[in-house]
Amino acid sequence: MLAEAEAAAADDGLSLRPKPVRIRRPEDPLTPEEIDLRERLQAQSHPNTETRS
């Protein structure tokens, strides 16, 4: 099964190991991607909010 996974990963050009990520600390500045995501999420209405007419 592992050989199949390795072959599939080789076909996709992807490694089996994810790239390491750095854990963001609260004092770290937001990246442009995080700023964009935050703005898009805040623009959405909350799914639990009731709309009353």
Question: What pLDDT does 17 receive?
Answer: 84
Task: Please name the residue that has the structure tokens 């994810």.
Answer: 18
Q: Are 10 and 21 in contact (CB under 8 A)?
A: no
Question: What pLDDT does 6 receive?
Answer: 61
Tens digits of residue pLDDT in 1-51:
666 766 655 566 777 888 888 888 989 999 999 999 999 999 998 777 766
Q: Are 38 and 30 in contact (CB under 8 A)?
A: yes
pTM beyond 0.85, yes or no:
no
